Amino acid sequence: MTRLSNLHAAPAATPKAARRAALRSVLALPVAPALVILGMLWIQWRFAVLHPDVIARKFPTLSKALNDPLVAGPFEILLYVSTPFLLIAVWLVIRYYWVTADRVFGGAHGRANVFWRSLILSAGALQGMAAAGMLMIVHYPSSTFSGPHVLGSYMLFIGHAVSILLSGYISRALARKNTPAPDPVWHRRHARRWPLSLAITGVALTYAALFYAPSLGLFQSTRGTSVLVSAVEIIMLSAFLLYLLGFAWDLFQYELQKHSEATPAQSTKDNADLIG
């Protein structure tokens, strides 16, 4: 296995083929966020066109808007297209964390301890749970399948929020290690992920408070509050997805180094280390 300094340090002269290969390796990263965010905005627009009378009284959450099959059908197809890209992006980030943690926390044996590996695997599993929850929300409308729909909502909400918190915590630990880095701001990028993860969690908690407040009698639901809840919901879900884009440069650097220096034998050994 290569040392951390060799893994991250960019070669003096990078072949164009290596750059193209590294770029192809991270192309999946922006696909799912772009498709899903545009899809969510389309849901609100399409529902407003189909139900202007409802919009005049109260702005719906995404769950309510998806009760209309004319809205849910196209969005479900979009999710089936975007979810594989999301899972690929999650795999790229988890693999990056796994390899980097082995270099930073692995010590003489070159392997991170059970604690860090468990956190990384948990973050990946939670992202998978969130993706499954999103599919459940669309496939099981709340008007006819309340139980599965609510379960999917919790899977989506908890999966993304806790996974991002774990990611921020891991990045904070990486930033605090005095290790060689691929560029002058590598440690700074990792350090910023912790407060960013806390901010995203804060948005999620704000949405939960706004969503449940009327049922708890804290304030009356009006059209104004419904617009606020809908806006915070889209901001929250967008933040969940856009968080992955923050890894684009780190992933590109990692893939660039791997394609520039790894021999076929080394690539086989790296894959074996990831599995084992």
For residue range 166-200, list pLDDT tens digits in order: 999 999 998 888 676 666 677 888 889 999 999 99
**CA 198/CA 167 separation, integer angstroms:** 11
Token pair recorded at residue 215: 């049922």
Query: 274 vs 80, which has greater pLDDT?
Result: 80
Query: Could you report the per-residue pLDDT of 78-109, keeping only the tens digit for each?
Result: 999 999 999 999 999 999 899 888 888 876 56
Q: Could you tell me the pLDDT band of residue 3, with boundaries at 50, 70 and 90?
A: very low
Residue with tokens 């605090």: 176
**Helix-then-strand count for the chain, H and E:** 12, 0
Residue 261 is predicted with a pLDDT of 64
Q: What H or E segment, with its residue span, contains residue 38?
A: helix 31-50
pTM: 0.82
CB 193 within 8 A of CB 167: yes
Query: Could you report the per-residue pLDDT of 112-168, keeping only the tens digit for each?
Result: 788 898 999 999 999 999 999 999 999 998 888 889 999 999 999 999 999 999 999
**CA 152/CA 140 separation, integer angstroms:** 9
Sketch the domain layout of the chain as residue ranges: 12-259
Residue 237 is predicted with a pLDDT of 94
**CA 57/CA 138 separation, integer angstroms:** 24
CB 246 within 8 A of CB 196: yes
CB 230 within 8 A of CB 59: yes
**CA 42/CA 18 separation, integer angstroms:** 38
Please compute Rg for the chain using Cα positions: 21
Q: Could you tell me the pLDDT band of residue 212, with boundaries at 50, 70 and 90?
A: confident
Helix extents (H) in 106-222: 114-139, 146-176, 186-212
